[in-house]
Amino acid sequence: MDFTLVRDVIRVQSVRSRTLEPGYGYIRLAQFQERSDRDMQRALEKMSAEKGGLKGLVLDLRNNPGGLLTQAVRVSDMFLESGLIVYTEGRIEAQKQKYFAQKDGTWTDFPVVVLVNGGSASASEIVAGALQDHKRAVVLGTKTFGKGSVQTILPLDDNSALRLTTARYFTPNGRSIQATGIVPDINVDNASPQDGKAEAPKRPGLREENLPGHLLNPQPSSPNSPTEPVEKDKEKEKQIPSSGPTGDETIDNDTQLKRALDLLKSWDVFKQIVQKKAA
C-alpha cells in the first residue's frame, strides 16, 4: 500500500504556568525554545502581580529534553544576579566558552524549588546545576539524564553533514554533567499517593550512562560532591509524611510537586519565625 504523507510543524508550548496556592506559583518549562525566556518573564510578572505577590516558585523541568543553550543561560540568569552559569571545554581554544549572569531583571525575592527526573537533559541540567551551585534553588526529584556534551554540525560537500562531539558542559563549581547528571538536593520518587510505593516505570530508566559508547565523565567521584542516597536513606525519605491534601488533584497526585509546595510553605514559616526573633 502506498501513502502520501505531508510533514507538518508540531509547535510545543514551551511555558505553562499557574498558581498552586495564593502566593505560590508553578512554571512548567517543557523545552528550551527561542521565546522561552520571554514567556517565563511574562508568567512571573503575572503571578507576582496577583494579590500577596509571589512567595515561592516551583520550576518544573521534569522530562525536559533540553533545547537552545542560549535559552538555558537566559532562564538561569533570571534567578541569578552574578557569577558563572555554565562553561564549555574542548580540545581547542575556540571551544572554551563561559556564560555569566547579569544583575538586571533578576528575580531574587522568593525561594525556588526545581523539579527534575531522568528525563531532564542537556539545557535542563545546565539550569538545575547553575541554580544548585549558586544556592539559589533547591533541586528536588531524581537524578537527571546526564547529557553534558556539546555537538557541532559540520556540513559536507554532498549536502549531508557530520555531527561531531566537540566539548563538554560544566556547572559553575566545575562539575561535569556528562554521564553523571545532576543529583537532587532532596531525592523524591514520584510515588503513588494511595500506597506510598513508587509507581512501576512505564519505560526503562534510560540515562546517558546506559547508552553504548557514551562519553565518559573525566572527573573522579569527589567525597564532597552530592551522590545518590543509599537505599536505606531512600526508604526514610518515603516515610517522611507530607501535609494533608490540598483538594487539587493535580497537586495531590504528584508526590514531587506536593513535596515541593510543602517545602516552599515551610520555608516561609521559618522565615517569619526568624523575623520575629530578630524584632
Residue 139: name the closest of 187, 179, 174 by CA: 187
The DSSP string of 25-80 is EEEEE--B-TTHHHHHHHHHHHHHTSTT--SEEEEE-TT---B-HHHHHHHHHTT-
Q: Is 136 domain-assigned?
A: yes
pLDDT surpasses 70 at 23: yes
Place of cell 539524564: 145
| 57 or 235, which is more confident | 57
Look at strands 24-29 and 56-60 and give their pairing. parallel
Residue 162: phi and psi, rounded to 5, are: -115, 125
> Is residue 238 among the annotated active site residues?
no
Q: Is 199 domain-assigned?
A: yes
> Is residue 48 among the annotated active site residues?
no
Is pTM beyond 0.85? Reply is no
Residue tagged active-site, from 55, 143, 147, 258: 147
| 99 or 196, which is more confident | 99
Range of the domain at 58: 15-278
Q: Into how many domains does the chain fold?
A: 1
Q: Is 92 domain-assigned?
A: yes
Element (H, E) at 114: strand 112-116
Q: Is 163 domain-assigned?
A: yes
Chain segment 198-220, per-residue pLDDT in tens: 444 455 577 777 776 777 787 76
Residue 35 is part of a domain; what is its CATH number? 3.90.226.10
Q: Is 6 domain-assigned?
A: no
Residue 200 confidence (pLDDT):
47
Residue tagged active-site, from 36, 122, 124, 176: 122
Q: Is 227 domain-assigned?
A: yes
Residue tagged active-site, from 120, 133, 143, 149: 133
Q: How much is the average pLDDT of 243-247?
A: 68
Query: pLDDT-based confidence at 277, cuts 50/70/90?
Result: confident
What would the grid cell of residue 197 be? 510505593
Q: Is 254 domain-assigned?
A: yes
Residue 191 confidence (pLDDT):
65
Query: pLDDT-based confidence at 276, cuts 50/70/90?
Result: confident
Q: Is 8 domain-assigned?
A: no
Q: What Rg do the C-alpha atoms of the chain give, in angstroms? A: 20
Cα separation, 11 vs 31, whole angstroms: 11
CA trace torsion 106, 111, 117, 120 (10° rounding): 0
> Is residue 124 among the annotated active site residues?
no
